[in-house]
Amino acid sequence: MSVLTKTSATSIATRQAPELAVIVPTFNEHDNVAPLVERLEVALAGINWELIFVDDNSPDGTADAAWELSRLHDNVRCIKRLGRRGLSSACAEGILSTSAPFVAVMDGDLQHDEAILPAMLAKVRAGADIAVGSRYAGGGSAGDGLSPLRLWGSNLATRLSTLVAGQELADPMSGFFMLRRDLFIDVAPQLSSEGFKILLDLVVTATRKGTPPAIAQVPYTFRQRLSGESKMSPLVVLQFLGLWLSKLTGGLLPTSFLLFALVGFSGLAIHLAVLWLLTSVAPQPFLVAQIVATITAMTWNFFINNILTYADRKLHGAKLWMGLLIFYLVCSLGGIANVSIASVIYEARAVPIVAGLAGALMSSVFNYSVTRIFTWK
């Protein structure tokens, strides 16, 4: 086309804008990025595509390896994010950085089979809103890529997802999919930035906006990781549960609030355990036991929130200790709010448990809102 031959006054040649952008989030995938580029070149021959790595400052130097590749291939680039972690937000930022009409999201560890990309492209070109690389649709397989425990968890998550998505999804947990860029732009403001499961979030958000996306499945076999290790962890599972609950409430309760509340409950268990230890096992005056239990629970809540609820803006170094101090302060004020509200409601002749719950709810909303402003900004 004419664009190819057009040159500007300073004779900088312009290339034809790509039709497909492949977005690859990476964290510690140093050894995988070069083989990935080679494989994509084979799989996407004849297609005008670009590749965008989004790296969260991997300690193994993945970004340097990716930049090295972009010096050799003018359709490869890398965005390096500092002080951030998160698969979903990395994918979102990669997609937002391209003008290609079709975008694919794919893992950087070669577990996703790049050979099905042309089939996915054919589906979206033909009008599908989203083409999902599916491990469970006919012909696909989770192969040896997943342990039995993960297979079970993945199946359960699939069933939970169908509940919130409003349509049967063969593999809603898939991290391998392609969609029209404009669909993404349309729902992007409503997506959660937390967690691993951007596809599920996309489908649910588009459906809630009144346009259930037309989804095409393209089966593939999930491969073994080439090198490095999975970042899947119990924390990721909890983050998924938070996202799921949040979607179930129609997005009314943000994922981060649900996770914060969940952490609060675990803190309560810690509090009671310490209290029991210091009153029955190694008896101390009650006041001492109560103070130690409170501080232990607050400290626990702080650190767990830091790695779970706010994994995407985790505090480190000096900010971590400052954050802990602010957290103690906010929670103490929250405690005062808790007791005051509970007493007022109790005075109004409510049953103690209702008064107690109202106080606890009040202080969790308070702690959540205030620490979002002052601790995890």
Residues 342, 356: contact at Cβ < 8 Å?
yes
54 binds ligand GDD (CB under 6 A): yes
Of 196, 240, 257, 366, the one binding ligand GDD by CB under 6 A = 196
Complete DSSP assignment for 274-338:
HHHIIIIIS---HHHHHHHHHHHHHHHHHHHIIIIITGGG---HHHHHHHHHHHHHHHHHHHHHH
CA distance 102 to 177: 11
For ligand GDD, the closer of residues 219 and 334 by Cβ is 219
Of 39, 208, 223, 231, the one binding ligand GDD by CB under 6 A = 231
What are the b/e assignments for 201-229, b being 16+ CB within 10 Å? Answer: bbbbbbbbeeeebebbbbbbbbeeeeebe
CA distance 237 to 259: 11
Of 21, 51, 95, 111, the one binding ligand GDD by CB under 6 A = 111
At 24, which helix (H) or strand (E)? strand 20-26
Please give the residue ranges that form the binding site for Mn ion (CB under 5 A). Answer: 107, 109, 111
**CB 93 to ligand GDD: min, Å:** 9
369 binds ligand GDD (CB under 6 A): no
**CB 145 to Mn ion: min, Å:** 7
Q: x/- site string to ligand GDD, residues 28 to 47, per CB under 6 A?
A: -x------------------
Counted residue by residue, the chain has a size of: 377
Residue 108 binds: one of Mn ion, ligand GDD, none (C-beta under 5 to 8 A by kind): ligand GDD
How many residues in the shown chain lie near ligand GDD by CB under 6 A?
23
Pull the structure tokens for residue 199: 């596809």
310 binds ligand GDD (CB under 6 A): no
93 binds ligand GDD (CB under 6 A): no
CA distance 60 to 64: 9
113 binds ligand GDD (CB under 6 A): no
175 binds ligand GDD (CB under 6 A): yes
Pull the structure tokens for residue 143: 């192969």
**Other residues' Cβ atoms within 10 Å of the Cβ of residue 55:** 26
Residues 169, 132: contact at Cβ < 8 Å?
yes
Residue 53 binds: one of ligand GDD, Mn ion, none (C-beta under 5 to 8 A by kind): none
For Mn ion, the closer of residues 109 and 194 by Cβ is 109
Q: Which stretch binds ligand GDD (CB under 6 A): 118-126, 228-236, 338-346, 353-361?
A: 228-236
173 binds ligand GDD (CB under 6 A): yes
Pull the structure tokens for residue 118: 């042309």
192 binds ligand GDD (CB under 6 A): no
Of 50, 55, 129, 194, the one binding ligand GDD by CB under 6 A = 55
- Measuring CA to CA, how many Å separate 100 from each of 52, 97, 113, 374? 11, 9, 21, 39
For ligand GDD, the closer of residues 86 and 359 by Cβ is 86
Beta partners for residue 215, in sequence order: 130
Of 40, 90, 104, 203, the one binding ligand GDD by CB under 6 A = 90
- Give the residues lining the site for ligand GDD (CB under 6 A): 25-27, 29, 54-56, 85-87, 90, 107-109, 111, 173-176, 196, 230-232
